[in-house]
Amino acid sequence: MLKSIAPPKPVLKSTEEIDKMQQACDLVSQALQIARNMAQPGVRTLDIDQAVEAFYKEQGAIPLFKGYPGTRTPFPAVTCISVNEQVVHGIPGPRVLRPGDLLKVDTACKLNGWCGDAAFCLPIGEVSPEIKRLVRVAEEALAIAIRELPKKRWWSEIALQMQQYVQAQGFSVVERFVGHGIGRVMHEPPQVPNYSSKEMRQQDFRLEPGLTLAIEPMVNMGKKEVQELPDHWTVITRDRLPSAHVEHTVALTTEGVRVLTRHPTALAP
């Protein structure tokens, strides 16, 4: 629960530190490319997780999700793999991907003391036009944040713009979970919401060079309400309608925005 006291100040990074973060972020983008390449009908979510874990081990990187403390039990995998109505924090397992599924893969690692974190959303096979539109809206919400970072003074201005865009498309923004600062640890201040409210505006922060943020809009086809499954991790939409989730680690510099987790062959955002 958010507190009413003044929020901790963001940890600003130098150009040299951002360059070091880039190395971890490159591994995250490569790990997600491995997951994308594997995301076909008939593949188990566990297979994707094991491939990403093997990649991190080969690169000497520390996976940041596996063992992450939860309310009841540590997270058991190096990726969060969520399907359809699962919003975030899905646990990889024997589930087999099928045509029509909406897959979300989220992962993070640390390399030489610096962290990267990102997620993608991908339809499996042929899906409905509305699911395709849901994915496009989530990706555009992230693109709005990236475009607006050098133009605005406060994050709340961007969060409001993201929320207004999503709602104008007939979808909703998840409010229970937000993005975060990132650097030497995965979760640094500030909190990075994808919506605007009085409570969140009290946690607002100025946009200035040196900020490194993990921006991750979660967009529901139906209502914004979510709930946690009995595994104490997987979050689903309360109305069981599909949800989309995308994420990039970005740095705001004097020269503009660096999208640190964008794979060299990937399209925007």
The 3 state secondary structure assigned to the chain is CCCCCCCCCCCCCCHHHHHHHHHHHHHHHHHHHHHHHHCCCCCEHHHHHHHHHHHHHHHCCEECCCCCCCCCCCCCCCEEEEECCEEECCCCCCCECCCCCEEEEEEEEEECCEEEEEEEEEECCCCCHHHHHHHHHHHHHHHHHHHHCCCCCEHHHHHHHHHHHHHHCCCEECCCCCEEECCCCCCEEEEECCCCCHHHHCCCCECCCCCEEEECCEEECCCCCEEECCCCCCEEECCCCCEEECEEEEEEECCEEEECCCCCCCCCC
How many separate domains does the chain show? 1
Q: Is the pLDDT of residue 62 over 90?
A: yes
| pLDDT the model gives residue 198 | 79
| pLDDT the model gives residue 268 | 42
Would you say residue 26 lies in a domain? Answer: yes
Q: Is the pLDDT of residue 10 over 50?
A: yes
Residue 154 pLDDT grade (very low, low, confident, very high; cuts 50, 70, 90): very high
What pLDDT, in 10s, does the model give residues 215-268? 999 999 999 999 999 999 999 999 999 999 999 999 999 999 999 998 755 444
* Domain housing 123: 15-259
| pLDDT the model gives residue 46 | 98
CATH of the domain at 160: 3.90.230.10
Residue with the larger pLDDT of the pair 6 and 185: 185
Would you say residue 182 lies in a domain? Answer: yes
Would you say residue 267 lies in a domain? Answer: no
Would you say residue 9 lies in a domain? Answer: no
Would you say residue 42 lies in a domain? Answer: yes
Would you say residue 198 lies in a domain? Answer: yes
Would you say residue 227 lies in a domain? Answer: yes
Q: Is the pLDDT of residue 63 over 80?
A: yes
Torsion (CA) 255, 261, 264, 267 in degrees, nearest 10: -90
What pLDDT, in 10s, does the model give residues 64-88? 999 999 989 999 999 999 999 999 9
| pLDDT the model gives residue 267 | 40
% of the chain at pLDDT higher than 90: 90
What average pLDDT does the chain have?
Answer: 94
Would you say residue 79 lies in a domain? Answer: yes
Residue 138 pLDDT grade (very low, low, confident, very high; cuts 50, 70, 90): very high
- Residue 268 phi/psi, 5° resolution? -65, 150
